[in-house]
Structure 1
Amino acid sequence: MGTYDTRCVRMKTRNLLRCLLLVLCQRITLSQEEQQAEGFDCFDIWTKNNLSDSGIYTVKPKGADVAFKVFCEMTKEGGWTLIQKHNGDDGLSFNKMWDDYENGFGQLGGEHWLGLRYIYALTQQTDRPSKLRISIGDFNGQEAFAEYSPFSVGNAQQFYRLSAGIYSGTAGDAFFGNSENELFNQHTSFFSTVDKPNDNCNPTCLFGGLMYISCSHIYQAGWWFNSCGEANLNGRWRQPPRHRYQASSVSWPTWRPNESLKFSKMYLIHN
C-alpha cells in the first residue's frame, strides 16, 4: 500500500471515503503522467521504437503546457503526425467556427482537424524543426504530394499565421497559387473562419463577379485565406459527378484545377 493507503487505514469511517477518493485521483493523475511520456511528437515516438504501429498516441511537445492525443502514421522514414484528414468517409463538415478550428474537431482515427493550438505547439519546439507534408488524391486513383520545409504557425495573437518554407513535391505550390495575382499568394496569411475573418477582404472580396464579406463564406471552411487564394484543403467534400467547378471544394489547384479532391492528409514531420 502507498502513503495515502496507509493513512486511510488509520482514519475514521467518516473520512475514509474522502481519503480513498484522494488515492484514486492520485493514481489517475500518475496514469496520465505516464501517458504523457510517450514522446514529443510522432517522430520522437518512432525514434524510441521504430516498430511502433500507426495509431493514436499521447504527445507533449517541448515547451507545451499540456499533453494531447494525435494520430501517428508510422513509416519506414519515421513517425508522421497527422494534423488533418479529409476524405468524406465520416461525412464531417469542415465549415466550423474559430473555437472549433483552434481546439480541433472530428475523430483522430478518421476525418479530423487536430487544432491550431496543438499545431502551434508541435511546430514551435526548440531544436525540433518541422516540415509540412500534404498528401492528396483524385477520383481517378492518382496521388501527389507537396512538402514545405520548414513549416510553422504563429500563436493565437498572430491568428496562427502560416509560415511555409521551401516547396518540393509533385502537386505544385498551391499556397503561392497558379496565378500571377499577388493577392492569391497565401504564404504568411493569417488563419480565417466565418466568425473571425483575417483574409484581407477589405471590406469585401470579389469572386465570380459577386462580392463576399469573407473567404470563409465563399469556401465554407477555415483556412489560411488571402483575398482569397486558391488552395483550400478544408473545403466541402464532393464526389463525382458534382466534383468539378465548385468554389467550396477540397482544392489544390496547381495539381487539379477546378476539381474537388478525393482525399487530403496533412502531416507534420520532425527530425
Structure 2
Amino acid sequence: MNTVPGVVLVYQISTSSFPSSKRQRRMKWWRSWLHAATVLLLSATGVKVEHLQAENLHLLPPNDQSKVLNSEMKVLPRDCYEMLMASSGQARDGVYLIQPHDSPIVAFCAMQEGGWTVVQHITVNSSVNFDRTWNEYKNGFGDVNGDHWLGNERLHQLTRGPARYKLGVKLVDQDAVTKMGEYDPFLVEGESTAYRLRLGLFQGTAVDALTLDTENYLHDNQKFTTKDRDNDNYFQNCAKLEFQGVAGGGWWYDACAGANLNRRNVIYWQKDCNKERLCKYAWMMVKPSDTVKVIYSGDSKKDEL
C-alpha cells in the first residue's frame, strides 16, 4: 500500500467468527471500503493516485501516459486552441487531455502553429497500417505522438459545435517544401450519415483537392468509406483498390479520389503530392474558425458567421 509521510493508516479486521462464505464477502467489502478511504486520504494530502482517464487511451502507449502535459487540470479544455488560450499562449507542443464531448480524450496539440488539434498524421511508408475497418476509423488508431487517425467520432464531436471549426492540411514533400491549406468551415456529421464531410471556402498555398473539381472528384459532401463499409460513388470499393500492393484506406471517396491522405505508400493531394511528386508527411488539424464578422446596426450589435 502507498504511504504518505506523517499519515498512518491503522486497521484491524476480525473475521474468525464469520462462516467461510460470509467471511469472503465481508473481506471483499472491507477491502473496497479501505481502498476508497485510502484514495480519499492520499488525495487530501496531495498525492496523485488516479490513473489517466481518456476515452481513446489506446492511442497513447503506456510509457508515454505520464507525459500528458495537462494531466493535473480539473476542468479540461474543449480543444487545443482553448488550452493555448488558458495558458496565455505559453503551452508547448505535445499530448494533452481535451474534452470535446462527455469524456476526455488524448490528442496531440500543435501549439507553436496556433493551437491546432491534430486529427491525422501520416508518414510515407509508415509502419502504421491505414487499411482499417469502419470501427477502427470510428474510434481511432495509431499513436498520437506519431502516425495516427484520431477517429471519426472524435472529428464529429470536435466540429459539431457550438464553435465553428476549420480544417488545416499541411503537406511536406521530399525536398522539405511545406504547403498549407485551410477549409473554413469544416464539419464531420455523425455516424448516422456515415460521417459525411462538409467543407467551406478554401485558402492556402496547396491546391484545393477536396472541393475543386479539377479531376472530376468532389470529396465535399461525401460519406466515409472503409474496406468493410462501401459508401463511395464507384462500382467497386475505393478503400480496397490497391496501388503497388497497398490498399487505399478509409476516406471520403467520390469515384474514387482527387486526394487521399490515408494511403501509406503514396500521400496523394492532386498536383502537390502524388506518385511522381512524392510527399513525406501530411497532417490534418482542426481549430475554431476566426471568420466571425461583427455587424453594428444602430445601438444594437450582433455576431454573424
Range of TM-score over shorter length: 0.7 to 0.9
Deviation at 1:36, TM superposition (A): 6.0
Deviation at 1:256, TM superposition (A): 3.5
For residues 86 and 17 of structure 1, do their structure 2 counterparts lie closer, same or farther at Cα, with a shift above 3 Å needed? same
CA distance in 2, matches of 1:229, 1:88: 18
TM-score normalised per structure 1: 0.79
Q: Does 1:102 align with 2:145?
A: no
1:174 to 179, 204, 209: 209
Aligned-partner SS, 1:75: helix
Indicate the residue corresponding to 2:107 in structure 1.
70
Check conservation: 1:173, 1:254, Cα contact below 8 A: no
CA distance in 2, matches of 1:82, 1:31: 20
Indicate the residue corresponding to 1:58 in structure 2.
97
CA distance in 2, matches of 1:155, 1:9: 52
For residues 12 and 189 of structure 1, do their structure 2 counterparts lie closer, same or farther at Cα, with a shift above 3 Å needed? farther
Indicate the residue corresponding to 1:270 in structure 2.
288
For residues 95 and 10 of structure 1, do their structure 2 counterparts lie closer, same or farther at Cα, with a shift above 3 Å needed? same
For residues 221 and 29 of structure 1, do their structure 2 counterparts lie closer, same or farther at Cα, with a shift above 3 Å needed? same
Residue identity opposite 2:75 in structure 1 = A
Aligned-partner SS, 1:262: strand
For residues 16 and 101 of structure 1, do their structure 2 counterparts lie closer, same or farther at Cα, with a shift above 3 Å needed? same
Gaps of at least 5 residues in structure 2 are 1-9, 16-26, 44-48, 54-70, 242-246, 290-305
Gaps of at least 5 residues in structure 1 are 1-7, 205-212, 238-248
Indicate the residue corresponding to 2:220 in structure 1.
187
1:232 to 246, 256, 260: 260
Check conservation: 2:223, 2:252, Cα contact below 8 A: yes
What per-residue deviation string (whole Å, max 9, x for no partner) do you get for residues 2-54 of structure 1? Answer: xxxxxx96986734312123346776669759656231100000001011111
For residues 94 and 180 of structure 1, do their structure 2 counterparts lie closer, same or farther at Cα, with a shift above 3 Å needed? closer
1:214 to 223, 237, 255: 237
Deviation at 1:217, TM superposition (A): 1.0
- Higher alpha-carbon Rg: 2
Alignment of 1:110-259 (within 5 A): 110-126=146-162, 128-177=163-212, 179=214, 181=216, 184-201=217-234, 204=235, 213-218=236-241, 219-237=247-265, 249-259=266-276
- What percent of counterpart residues are identical? 30
For residues 36 and 152 of structure 1, do their structure 2 counterparts lie closer, same or farther at Cα, with a shift above 3 Å needed? farther
Aligned-partner SS, 2:270: coil
Check conservation: 1:98, 1:195, Cα contact below 8 A: yes
Check conservation: 2:126, 2:264, Cα contact below 8 A: no
Indicate the residue corresponding to 1:42 in structure 2.
80
CA distance in 2, matches of 1:60, 1:167: 28
Aligned-partner SS, 2:157: helix
Check conservation: 2:185, 2:200, Cα contact below 8 A: yes
- Figure out how many residues of one structure are paired with residues of the other and give that number: 240
CA RMSD of aligned residues (A): 2.8
Residue identity opposite 1:189 in structure 2 = Q
CA distance in 1, matches of 2:109, 2:190: 23
Aligned-partner SS, 2:259: coil
For residues 31 and 217 of structure 1, do their structure 2 counterparts lie closer, same or farther at Cα, with a shift above 3 Å needed? closer
Indicate the residue corresponding to 1:17 in structure 2.
31
- The structure whose RCO (Cα within 8 Å, separation 6+) is larger is 1
Aligned-partner SS, 1:81: strand
CA distance in 2, matches of 1:85, 1:103: 15
For residues 23 and 269 of structure 1, do their structure 2 counterparts lie closer, same or farther at Cα, with a shift above 3 Å needed? same
